Chains A and B, each alone.
Chain A
Amino acid sequence: MILETNNLVKNFGGVKALQSASISVAKASITGLIGPNGAGKTTLFNAISGFLPIDSGSISFDGYEIGKLNPSKIVKLGLTRTFQTSSGFPSMSVWENIMTSGSNEYLESPFKVLRPSKLLREKELKVSNKVRTMLKRFDLKGLLDKPLGDISIVEMRFVEIIRQLMTSPKILLMDEPASGFGPDDLDRLREIIKWIQDEGITILLIEHNLPFVLNIVDYVYVLSNGRVIGDGLPSEIVKNKAVIENYIGKQNVSH
């Protein structure tokens, strides 16, 4: 298991957003996280990625306890996430957006700027080449110099995925990557997700589009009211009684 959460608890005042949520994600798997609106899926993502301090419980990732670390440390350990509403840095071009995530503290030192060395330029070129390879891989080469504000929502989602991949993660948490996607876009996304898995990166995925998510994942967790109410292989989960009552609904299964 590359990622495990144990009895995570998070309350917002009287609202119990997470009530002892425990999940385990196997290395190099694609794991799904489904559940009704307000089930706590995004809260769980925020807790794992360090964006939200947890009240109690523990999160272990790749042998480290990350429950109390801040986002930037967690990213450096190799865990990164996307957002439900993809945006980025709108005052910059697509290239600059992705370059930013590919640059480390060495490149971003304000003091190296005064006399840019050959080494610095070489390192920047390396990152830039990687940006272009990635855009090519995603069939988005034309976006290179476009301002971020000028690209479509679907393109924005793919650019966000590239941006997060530039941090060289071991695991990628994707928050509803397919929302707003048409059938063709879904095929592209499926192909991209499979490719990311082939690169050896584990994926944890929140998604409302059930046919899409159940088709692609190896294992799935169902969340409701901040609790895991069921987990299993996609073929098992559609037969799970609690899951059907709480989320999928009886009519959907009978078809």
Chain B
Amino acid sequence: MIGIFVFLASVLTLVFIYATLATILNFEAGWGGLWDLGTAGLLAVGAYCYVILTVESNEIIFSPQLPVWAGIVVTSIFTGAVAFLIGLPSLRMRDEYFLITTFAFSVVVLQLITTESSITLGATGFHNIQRPFDDYVSTRSYNFVLLGISTFVLITIWLLIRRLGRSPFGRLLRAIRDNEPAAKSIGKMIFVTRLKVFVITGALIGAISPMYVWYIRSLSPHMFHVTLAFTVWTALVIGGIGNFWGPVVGALILIGLTEALQFLQYSAEYAVLLSAARPIIIGVGLIIVMRFRPEGILPEKHSFKNARKIIDYQKQI
């Protein structure tokens, strides 16, 4: 019986990890209008940065062994800085070129990680990575600790993104996304704003990347295959781009559905068949949503009336 709960906790943790990534992508692509396919690349940069900074290992040439909190802070700053460097040349280009650049970035990062084994341990990667509270709970019950961590992270990121989305900054992003010439005509700086969005995205992905490492418990290049970015995008599109709840609902349906398939495995043949069915389910789900509800299950709201009321009805001083 407890086995089911452990399994459910593990599935839910994965759902929350994807929901967090989709929420960040919603900010970047949904409101910021940046077509980013580099989520896996940024996540890889963050995850490797964190592990290299915190791991106790004499196999790599640089190992400062920082405490967890310091590792997260430095990782966030570093990933934000990487996003800045990628954004500087690529954000001047139009949508589809940015898409290709970020895609290429993802591939290049994976190559670099695989070849620079003096610091990344190459294709072998890191295993049995130390996790917070590891010493206090059994490996089995650690799933519940992870569930707690991922719930906390999702709620924090979701609240942060909602605040950003409803703020004048979020309004500016939607304006630039909706109509670039009109935004220019009222003096908005398109490139600088997009760069801010991309750096914030990088910093947030960096900050949450340790959670992904703790979940998998090891670190190797194949964890960051570019299909990860497609999965996050699919979750966002199914749930609803531009809606605060869209990415959460999308991740719950998509990841929940594909992971629940594991329940059905009772023979080896079925297991192979079902794992092959995963991309089919994702594809069919995407087609159905695109055909019957292109704006996603939860469409973007066409105004934030409350935003006006909060401002207009505050105490007149």
A7 to B189, CA, bound (A): 29
Q: Name the contact of A89 in the complex, choosing from B164, B168, B179, B187 (C-beta under 8 A).
A: B179
Q: Name the contact of A128 in the complex, choosing from B300, B303, B304, B311 (C-beta under 8 A).
A: B311
What chain B residues lie within 8 Å of A164 (beta carbons)?
185-186
Query: Is B64 in the interface zone, CB < 8 Å from A?
Result: no
What chain B residues lie within 8 Å of A97 (beta carbons)?
175
The answer on a CB contact under 8 Å between B185 and A80 is: yes
A92 to B177, CA, bound (A): 11
Task: With both chains docked as a complex, state the minimum distance between the C-beta of A160 and any C-beta of chain B, in angstroms.
Answer: 8
Query: Is A245 in the interface zone, CB < 8 Å from B?
Result: no
The answer on a CB contact under 8 Å between B312 and A125 is: yes
A95 to B312, CA, bound (A): 11
The answer on a CB contact under 8 Å between A108 and B168 is: yes
A105 to B206, CA, bound (A): 26
Q: Which of B168, B177, B181, B196 has the most CB of A within 10 A?
A: B168
* Contact (A92, B303) CB under 8 Å given A51-B184, A128-B312: yes
Closest to A49 in B: B185
Task: With both chains docked as a complex, state the minimum distance between the C-beta of B302 and any C-beta of chain A, in angstroms.
Answer: 4
What chain B residues lie within 8 Å of A72 (beta carbons)?
184, 187-189
A109 to B163, CA, bound (A): 12
A82 to B312, CA, bound (A): 28
For residues 258 through 317 of chain B, which have their beta carbon under 8 Å from a beta carbon of chain A? 300, 302-305, 307-308, 311-312, 314, 316-317
* Contact (A107, B168) CB under 8 Å given A72-B189, A88-B182: yes
Query: Is A10 in the interface zone, CB < 8 Å from B?
Result: no
Interface residues on chain A, number (Cβ under 8 Å)? 45
Query: Is A90 in the interface zone, CB < 8 Å from B?
Result: yes
The answer on a CB contact under 8 Å between A81 and B185 is: yes
For residues 113 through 152 of chain A, which have their beta carbon under 8 Å from a beta carbon of chain B? 113-114, 116, 121-122, 124-125, 128, 132, 144-145, 147, 149
Task: With both chains docked as a complex, state the minimum distance between the C-beta of B240 and any C-beta of chain A, in angstroms.
Answer: 13
The answer on a CB contact under 8 Å between A92 and B168 is: no
The answer on a CB contact under 8 Å between B171 and A96 is: yes
A124 to B309, CA, bound (A): 12
A79 to B172, CA, bound (A): 20
A244 to B182, CA, bound (A): 35
Q: Which of A80, A91, A103, A164 has the most CB of B within 10 A?
A: A91
For residues 58 through 84 of chain A, which have their beta carbon under 8 Å from a beta carbon of chain B? 71-72, 75-76, 80-83
* Contact (A145, B305) CB under 8 Å given A83-B182, A91-B174, A101-B186: yes
The answer on a CB contact under 8 Å between B302 and A125 is: no
A187 to B185, CA, bound (A): 26
A164 to B184, CA, bound (A): 11
**Helix, strand, loop or mixed for chain B's interface?**
helix
What chain B residues lie within 8 Å of A100 (beta carbons)?
168, 171-172, 175, 183, 186, 188
What chain A residues lie within 8 Å of B174 (beta carbons)?
89, 91-92
The answer on a CB contact under 8 Å between A124 and B168 is: yes
Closest to A146 in B: B303
Query: Is A87 in the interface zone, CB < 8 Å from B?
Result: yes
The answer on a CB contact under 8 Å between B186 and A80 is: yes
The answer on a CB contact under 8 Å between B304 and A96 is: yes
Task: With both chains docked as a complex, state the minimum distance between the C-beta of B197 and any C-beta of chain A, in angstroms.
Answer: 8
A144 to B307, CA, bound (A): 13
A124 to B160, CA, bound (A): 20
Q: Name the contact of B302 in the complex, choosing from A92, A108, A116 (C-beta under 8 A).
A: A92
A110 to B27, CA, bound (A): 12
Q: Mark A140-175, 1 if CB is under 8 A from B, else 0.
A: 000011010100000000000001101100000000
The answer on a CB contact under 8 Å between B187 and A71 is: yes
Closest to B188 in A: A72
Q: Name the contact of B314 in the complex, choosing from A82, A91, A99, A121 (C-beta under 8 A).
A: A121
The answer on a CB contact under 8 Å between B172 and A108 is: yes
What chain A residues lie within 8 Å of B242 (beta carbons)?
91
Closest to A160 in B: B182
What chain B residues lie within 8 Å of A90 (beta carbons)?
178-179
Task: With both chains docked as a complex, state the minimum distance between the C-beta of A118 and any C-beta of chain B, in angstroms.
Answer: 8
A166 to B305, CA, bound (A): 20
The answer on a CB contact under 8 Å between B171 and A99 is: yes
The answer on a CB contact under 8 Å between B167 and A113 is: yes
The answer on a CB contact under 8 Å between B172 and A103 is: yes
Q: Mark A14-46, 1 if CB is under 8 A from B, else 0.
A: 000000000000000000000000000000000
Q: Name the contact of A149 in the complex, choosing from B168, B188, B302 (C-beta under 8 A).
A: B302
Closest to A105 in B: B189
Q: Name the contact of A83 in the complex, choosing from B163, B167, B175, B181 (C-beta under 8 A).
A: B181
> Can you identify 15 A-B contacts, CB atoms within 8 angstroms?
A49-B185, A51-B184, A71-B185, A72-B184, A87-B179, A92-B303, A96-B171, A99-B168, A100-B186, A116-B167, A125-B311, A132-B312, A147-B303, A166-B186, A167-B186
Closest 6 pairs between A and B when the two form their complex, measured CB to CB? A93-B303, A75-B187, A101-B186, A147-B302, A89-B178, A113-B167
